[in-house]
Structure 1
C-alpha cells in the first residue's frame, strides 16, 4: 500500500497590522498580520494542525513579533 503524507508550514495573511518602527531595520511602516501553523497531511488532506500563532511582520526586512 502506498501512503502519501507530509508535514508542512501554513501561512495565512490576515491583512494590515499596526504602524511600527522595526527594531532591526529602523523603518516605520504598516506591518502585515499573519497566522502560521504546522500541519500533517495524508493524501494532501490536512489531518492535524499544531503550533498556531499570530505574528506581525515588517514588510521591508521580514522581522516578526508576536501580535
Structure 2
C-alpha cells in the first residue's frame, strides 16, 4: 500500500481589516485580515491535522504584517 502525505502551509484571506498607517512604508491604507496555518495532508488533498494558527493584518502596499 502506497501512501503519499505531506506538510503544507496555507493562508486564507479573511476580508478587509482596519485602516492604518504602515510603520514601514508610511502609507495609510485598509489592511487585509489573514489567517495562516500549517497542515498535514494525505495525497496533498485531504487535510488531517492543522497547527500553528495565526491571525494577522497585512499592508496592501508593502506587505508589512501586524497582529490582528
TM-score (norm 1): 0.94
Q: Describe how 1:1-67 pairs up with structure 2 within 5 A.
A: 1-43=1-43, 44-67=45-68
Deviations 1:4-63 (A, max 9, x none): 111111111111000011111111100000100000001221000001111100000101
TM-score (norm 2): 0.93
Q: Name structure 2 gaps, 5 residues minimum.
A: none
Q: Name structure 1 gaps, 5 residues minimum.
A: none
**Structure 1 consecutive aligned stretches of length 4 or more whose deviation exceeds 2 Å:** none
Shift of 1:3: 1.6
Number of aligned positions between the proteins: 67
Q: CA RMSD in A?
A: 0.8
Aligned counterparts of 1:25 and 1:9: Cα–Cα separation in 2: 27
